[in-house]
Amino acid sequence: MKLSKTLYLVLAIVFLSVSTFGQKVNDKIHLIENDLNHWDKSKNKKWSLKERMAFYNVNAVSIAVIKDYKIEWIKAYGYADRSEKKLATTQTLFQAASISKSFNSLAILKLVEEGKLGLDDDINTYLKEWKFPYDSISKGKKITIAHLLNHTAGLSVGGFQGYAKGEKLPTTIETLDGLKPSNSNAVRSIFEPGLKFQYSGGGTTITQLILENTTEAKYEDYLLNNVLTPLGMSNSSFNQPPAKEKENILATGYNIDKEVVGKYHIYPEKAAAGLWTNPTDLSKYIIETQLSLLGKSNKILSKEMSVKRLDTNFGVFLNDFNGVKYFGHSGGNEGFVCYYVGSFEDGNGVVVMTNGRVSTIINEIVNSIASVNNWKNYPLESQKESISLTIRKESQSNIDKGIALYKNLKENKSNEYNFSNESELNQLGYEFLRDANLESAIKIFSLNVNEFPNSSNVYDSRGEAYFNKKEYLLSKSDYLKVLELEPTNQNAKEMLLKIDELLKK
């Protein structure tokens, strides 16, 4: 059969358009891979993605970019498991950590739209075998589901550390009451509900129990059938631990250059930290949220509820950059860090997932992609080098020389390194703490105390190190300082009780 000249011309135009589009996308990927900081004119040297992964000791990075409400490109780099030489692919699953809370909010709000839950009702209305123990701190005010979803319930327990394989896992009620084998404190009021923002994974765990009490289904089953499957997230799951058949595509977690014992931790606090997924699946969620805001899709929620969800920070965080809004959430579990962001308009977004513990590389990738795709009003901030990673090698060799290097760089090159974030030194201190190098940990934490004397967190960290060293009086002094700076700190109160009991013996 002969093709007409007109058809030949049409096919040629289509082929040329597809080829041109593909080339443009490849050019963008090449820029990200080879000139990550192309947008930052303050840098004298180009950063390649491979170089930055090496600098940050990140074994794998997986990226999905969204443009015009579609996945523009996806790609994975590095090793899902370094010792096994298992390469990361776009199918590799990572722990989404606190990004789980975005999906928890979808599930809870779906039940609200179905009339099974009320956003402004007292949470004890829906709790059966366990009730929240109100006390005088609540000042007679009741905690609502809305409070739990946007972290205004005034509750303790910010996050969870997970459990190594083989450890006994607590029930949800044991977690909420801080009872063994739970490794976290009890979830209790630290100030009255509705007063202010206080991030609480503990509060999110209460919604996990509410969902199971209301639906009479396992949390992971309800989320699979009512959220993940409708979104087309076929590779994702809230199973903790993950199913055996998924083992070959799971990433191994790393704390800097050390593999997490057992390759990953298990998180029975599923609503707060239990999702396993990849950027491809997460992109489907972002796109659905964007389309739902426009009233063009309602796979989970109506347009009205989607708008309310974002405007009130239910399971997401909202940023308004000079009138242009973006929604997103970050996550960090033992050995994993990740982040997603999506625009309210124009259909832009990105997901970055890693099996490392350094979020700075994610910021660099997101900034580069936002620049390449011309995101409206997205702030591109010049990235300073990590001071903790810069002094890490010297500190491991000789802690005093590492601290001397820190002081020298601060005096002579303060504009080039990040000295303004207390988490820099805290991260290094905890690396020494995990390795049971208590002397070095205490020296780094003490440096942090000197640098940030008005932060309760730096005293809390050093207090923990002193406690592990059985220097109970010094530990007590630090925890008393924590309470001086932050009177509602529940962990400090509980640690002081433990210390007093030990000092009596």
Identify whether 181 is preceded by a cis peptide bond (ω within 30 of 0): yes
Q: Give the mean model confidence (pLDDT) for residues 85-95.
A: 99
Q: Does the pLDDT at position 380 exceed 70?
A: yes
Q: Does the pLDDT at position 505 exceed 90?
A: no
And the tokens for 289?
């949220």
- Residue 18 has what pLDDT? 47
Evaluate whether 163 touches 242 at the Cβ level (below 8 Å): no
- Phi, psi (5° rounding) for residue 348? -100, 155
Per the model's pLDDT, the better-predicted residue between 20 and 440 turns out to be: 440
Q: Does the pLDDT at position 11 exceed 70?
A: no
Q: Does the pLDDT at position 298 exceed 70?
A: yes
Q: Which fold has domain 385-504?
A: 1.25.40
If phi over 0 gives left and psi between -120 and 50 gives alpha, with beta otherwise, what is residue 200? Answer: beta
For domain 95-372, the CATH class is alpha beta
Evaluate whether 161 touches 184 at the Cβ level (below 8 Å): yes
Q: Does the pLDDT at position 66 exceed 80?
A: yes
Task: Tally the residues of the chain.
Answer: 505
Average pLDDT, the chain: 94
The confidence band for 1, taking pLDDT boundaries of 50, 70 and 90, is very low
337, containing H or E segment: strand 336-343
- Residue 117 has what pLDDT? 99
Provide CB contacts within 8 A for 292, sequence distance 6+: 298, 299, 300, 301, 302, 303, 306
Q: Does the pLDDT at position 9 exceed 80?
A: no
The confidence band for 163, taking pLDDT boundaries of 50, 70 and 90, is very high
And the tokens for 132?
């929240």
> What are 94-146's pLDDT values in tens digits?
999 999 999 999 999 999 999 999 999 999 999 999 999 999 999 999 999 99
pTM: 0.88
> What are 211-222's pLDDT values in tens digits?
999 999 999 999
Q: Does the pLDDT at position 489 exceed 90?
A: no
Q: Does the pLDDT at position 21 exceed 90?
A: no
CA distances from 464 to 212, 474, 496 (A): 35, 10, 11
Domain definitions of the chain by residue range: 95-372, 385-504
